[in-house]
Copies of this chain bind each other. A is one copy, B any other.
Amino acid sequence: MSRIVLKFGGTSVADPNRIENAADKVQAEVKRGNQVIVVVSAMAGVTNQLVDYCQQIDPGCDAKEYDAVVASGEQVTSGLMALALQKRGLNSRSFSGWQVPMICNDQHGRARIDDIPAENLENCLKKNCVAVVAGFQGITKSGRITTLGRGGSDTTAVALAAAVQADRCDIYTDVDGVYTTDPRMVPLARKLNKVSYEEMLEMAALGAKVLHPRSVELAMAWNVPLQVLSSFNPQIGSDSPGTMIVSEEDIMEKQIVNGVTFTRNEAKITLLSVPDMPGIAASIFAPLGAAGINVDVIVQNVSPDGKTTDMTFTVPKGDAARTKEVLESLEPLKGTQIRVSNDIAKISIVGIGMSSHTGVAQTMFTTLAENKINILAITTSEIKVSVLIDEKFTELAVRELHKAFDLDQKNVG
């Protein structure tokens, strides 16, 4: 007997019919003799509606009340899922975050989980009862409802899996696994059978959109085996595996490159003729950090005359205007020309085998050069190489890199 946590996202529980479909998958897992905990998101669209209500009343509204309002969405789905399971003859009950309890800190709207006393869930499992837990939410020590922020239901599922020492945490979503790249852009993209937490983390952070990075971090920290699979696949559960996300040691054949990811959501800020003096970087980036702006790639060139320097960095596109405002207000940048470009994409190759292989970056740069794509900046990590390019070359770059690193499906056509 295994213990499995199954998580269904918003599109997988978008209406009563889809909830029933998801309940079939839960039932199949129970029939295999497993103990099951289900975690559900709000029905697709519900959270946005609730957020909209709050913002209609007060755009800068109190996060405590925002949480009380928004957490209701998952509460609804948890009850409906329990009903659908009972209809299938299973013993089941719903748990809101406060009923588990998922004890969180009081950072309302983006709370972190402090503790999950497992007693209530264990009692439920002992009675062969499928526990259906409302994702995305918890309770503070003072008894207020809190939410974990967007992507929070994945985090709920992984945290519960860790708390009850589950053998696996299955994340049902609207894609059937993690792909080498976005299959909508590259039809030859392959579904990966296994990736490491580290790779998934890079791929999630870089826009693969399958799993929230926070849930992957948590799974890595607690060594929870994650599986991503589609709730719309008519085959059920282990008959039709998705992508397993496991620790590096559990992957025998480490791929040099496992994926090509991209994000168009970058703006490039270029500062021309910045005074080249000690502390200048801090005087620029500290105020941006204080303004909550997340600076990503930073490139600095030393100037030939040694008196000024040119500096380039990226920020999320939505923060570009605010970034410019902050920069214009900075005393050391009087006289510095500030250029903002929104037409930037970041393309990355990711793979845990990369660290032990040479020439990977070289292959990337050569491939781009052969396709006449200019590289605007480069950053690297142990398992990743990222470049900034002109946004209009995004598709070309992704497709060619996917081919160059031998990721294209072999037996197609």
A180–chain B nearest beta-carbon distance, Å: 38
Chain B residues positioned under 8 Å from A94 (CB to CB): 65, 68
* In the complex, A318 has a CB within 8 A of chain B: no
Q: Which of A39-74 contact B (CB under 8 A)?
A: 50, 53-54, 56-58, 61-62, 64-69, 71-73
Say whether A79 contacts B65, CB under 8 Å: yes
Question: How does the 8 Å CB contact mask read for A324-337 relative to B, with 1 for contact and 0 for none?
Answer: 00000000000000
Give CA–CA (A91, B241) in the complex, Å. Answer: 52
Say whether B76 contacts A61, CB under 8 Å: no
* In the complex, A93 has a CB within 8 A of chain B: yes
Say whether B80 contacts A62, CB under 8 Å: no
* In the complex, A344 has a CB within 8 A of chain B: no
A52–chain B nearest beta-carbon distance, Å: 9
* In the complex, A116 has a CB within 8 A of chain B: no
Say whether B93 contacts A80, CB under 8 Å: no
Interface centre among A16, A71, A80, A94 (most CB of B within 10 A): A80
* In the complex, A397 has a CB within 8 A of chain B: no
| Partner among B58, B67, B87, B145 whose Cβ is within 8 Å of the Cβ of A58 | B87
In the complex, what residue of chain B is closest to A60 when comparing beta carbons? B87
Give CA–CA (A96, B67) in the complex, Å. Answer: 12
Chain B residues positioned under 8 Å from A50 (CB to CB): 76
* In the complex, A78 has a CB within 8 A of chain B: yes
* In the complex, A235 has a CB within 8 A of chain B: no
Say whether A19 contacts B57, CB under 8 Å: yes
With contacts A53-B76, A68-B75, A76-B72 taken as known, whether A83 is within 8 angstroms of B98 at the C-beta atoms is no
Q: How many copies does the complex hold?
A: 2
* In the complex, A82 has a CB within 8 A of chain B: yes
Give CA–CA (A53, B79) in the complex, Å. Answer: 10
* In the complex, A143 has a CB within 8 A of chain B: yes
* In the complex, A20 has a CB within 8 A of chain B: yes
Chain B residues positioned under 8 Å from A144 (CB to CB): 99
- Number of A interface residues at 8 Å Cβ cutoff, please give it: 38
Say whether B72 contacts A58, CB under 8 Å: no
Say whether A83 contacts B65, CB under 8 Å: yes
Chain B residues positioned under 8 Å from A72 (CB to CB): 72-73, 75-76
A211–chain B nearest beta-carbon distance, Å: 27
Say whether B76 contacts A62, CB under 8 Å: no
Give CA–CA (A64, B93) in the complex, Å. Answer: 8
Give CA–CA (A96, B144) in the complex, Å. Answer: 10
* In the complex, A6 has a CB within 8 A of chain B: no
Say whether B68 contacts A54, CB under 8 Å: no
With contacts A50-B76, A57-B16, A57-B20 taken as known, whether A68 is within 8 angstroms of B87 at the C-beta atoms is no
* In the complex, A84 has a CB within 8 A of chain B: yes
Known: A58-B84, A65-B79, A69-B83. 15 other contacts (CB 8 A): A16-B57, A54-B79, A54-B80, A57-B80, A57-B83, A57-B84, A64-B93, A65-B86, A67-B79, A68-B78, A68-B82, A69-B76, A69-B79, A98-B98, A99-B144
What would 19 A/B residue contacts be, using CB atoms closer than 8 Å? Answer: A16-B57, A19-B57, A57-B83, A57-B87, A58-B83, A58-B86, A61-B86, A65-B79, A65-B82, A65-B83, A65-B93, A66-B83, A68-B75, A68-B82, A69-B79, A69-B80, A72-B76, A75-B75, A99-B143
Q: Spell out A's residues near B (CB within 8 Å).
A: 16, 19-20, 50, 53-54, 56-58, 61-62, 64-69, 71-73, 75-76, 78-80, 82-84, 86-87, 93-94, 96, 98-99, 143-145
